Amino acid sequence: MANYNQLTEELISKLKEAAPGHILTGADIKEDYSHDEMPIYGTRAPEAVLMAHSTEEIAAVVKICNENLIPVTPRGSGSGLVGGCVPLLGGVLIDITKMNKILSYDLENFVVRVQAGVLLNDLAEDALKQGLLYAPDPGEKFACLAGNVATNAGGMRAVKYGTTRDYVAEMTVVLPSGEITNFGAKVSKTSSGYDLLDLMIGSEGTLGVITELTLKLIPAPKQVASLIAPFENLHDCISTVPKFKMAHINAQALEFMEREIVLASERFIGRSVFPQVVDGITANAYLLVTLDAGSEDELNNLIEQASEVLLESGAIDVLVADTPAKMKDAWAARSSFLEAILAETKLLDECDVVVPVNQIAPYLEFCAKAAEECGVEIKSFGHAGDGNLHIYQTSNDLEEDEFKHRVEKFFDIIYPEAIRVGGNVSGEHGVGSGKVSYLADSIGELNMNLMRGIKKVFDPNLIMNPGKVCYSVNE
């Protein structure tokens, strides 16, 4: 890594001149800025915070930092899970949450222009008022859209509609030099040189600061319903997924969850939604399926077809949530998984590996054995339709150092197995600082060096979000 400088009183004065009234220092810097939602990956307070209000303000501050070798860390809502927005080396943290305006809709071209700090939930609700759907649906609804883009967030609807990457048309970016540029265009396709827009998506704030986005929208489906299908075992549950595709049922969402995480979630929300025992059979795994259609008749036909597939595949029952209230209850339980775990857990770590769909069940069985071997408790759920698994490691009894040691041993076993079966280290949460070594092991030195080369082209002084993705703080 570069030899960085610390902020002096003179540099702080320059920052305050560049962004009058928007620079925080000392006791004005809140503790939340020192970590994300997974503090186990480290905490560090920034030396100064820019409460950004405009692209130009960000550009002026970044230019000063670049000229003086001051680390810069972009941050949205701080809902990441891999240490991606933690200012590992101090410096200046750029908070984009004040840049939260939905600027304009272009209803003829099905796009919306937003500032980077708009929350996913706010855009989703506002788009529906226009009869439109912003299709990406990550679990954390109160994350900033720029953070979603920076990690290429996936979510529940990815199996049908794709990930965040598929909905970004163009963006405004402040480069590490302080220069302002635009990537992409409001068009459906391009063959116009290297795709710098796609390169920025998923770069986790290491190549620049995203300040404005033009996002694609689609017409909102007219009819939506969800199905809850309990299974006696996980293997039958997961094996159902390819059968949906073979039956030409294009589900909006196909989520799986194991019994323990469902029970924890229902304790957290204070009500029971998922059946625990049906006809004397204990449910140990569940599929939560969402279907959408253009008419009520079409939806009813889909529900009937999907129910047949589920029951023929071993589901012990199928519950239909076809009203807003029932759907809200079903998805409230699913959306509360992380909060439920946090509420009952002292120490927590996680991974979000992605594997081929036909490898989900055997891979989770492998992980269960590895957890037992390493003395780690795990809770699993995820996106059955695309193979993205969320495996949480928890403890209420271990000391932190011992917990970290056991989790590291667990990761050293399960990440290579994910790669062996054709998977990747992360499906949607990103690499941040927490998974750099596992990414390096999985893609090899040649590909890591290609990433580092790209990083140096954008950021020769390595000031932008140092210690993330392809560089660790020790390099």
Write the class of the CATH domain 345-434.
Answer: alpha beta
User: What are 429-457's pLDDT values in tens digits?
Assistant: 999 999 999 999 999 999 999 999 999 99
Cα–Cα separations (whole angstroms), residue 309 to 33, 231, 245, 306, 368? 48, 13, 10, 5, 28
What is the tens place of the pLDDT at every residue in 339-358?
888 889 999 999 999 999 98
CATH code of 223-337, in short, is 3.30.70.2190
CATH topology of domain 9-97: 3.30.43
Residues 136 and 153: beta-carbon distance below 8 Å: yes
- What does the pLDDT profile of the chain (475 residues) look like in tens digits? 678 999 999 999 999 999 999 999 999 999 999 999 999 998 999 999 999 999 999 999 999 999 999 999 999 999 999 999 999 999 999 999 999 999 999 999 999 999 999 999 999 999 999 999 999 999 889 999 999 999 999 989 999 999 999 999 999 999 999 999 999 998 888 889 999 999 999 999 999 999 999 999 999 999 999 999 999 999 999 999 989 989 999 999 999 999 989 988 889 888 888 999 998 999 999 999 999 999 999 999 999 999 999 999 999 999 998 888 888 888 888 888 888 888 899 999 999 999 999 899 899 999 999 999 999 999 999 999 999 999 999 999 999 999 999 999 999 999 999 999 999 999 999 999 999 999 999 999 999 999 999 999 999 999 999 999 999 887 6
* The pLDDT of residue 1: 65
CA 381 – CA 86 distance, rounded (Å): 26
Is-same-fold flag (223-337; 345-434)?
yes
pLDDT per residue over 284-293, tens digit each?
A: 999 999 999 9
Q: What is the pLDDT of residues 175-199, one digit of tens each?
A: 999 999 999 998 888 889 999 999 9
* 8 Å CB contact between 238 and 284: no
Residue 227: what pLDDT? 95
Q: What are phi and psi of 426, to 5 degrees?
A: -140, 135
pTM, two decimal places:
0.94
Domain 102-219: which topology?
3.30.465
What's the rounded Cα separation, in Å, for the pair 445 and 426? 18
- Helix 436-458, helix 400-420: angle, nearest 10: 80
Amino acid at 129: K
In Å, what is the CA distance from 159 to each residue of 320, 343, 413? 20, 29, 28
**pLDDT of amino acid 231:** 96
- The full set of domain ranges for the chain reads 9-97, 102-219, 223-337, 345-434
d(CA 77, CA 92): 16
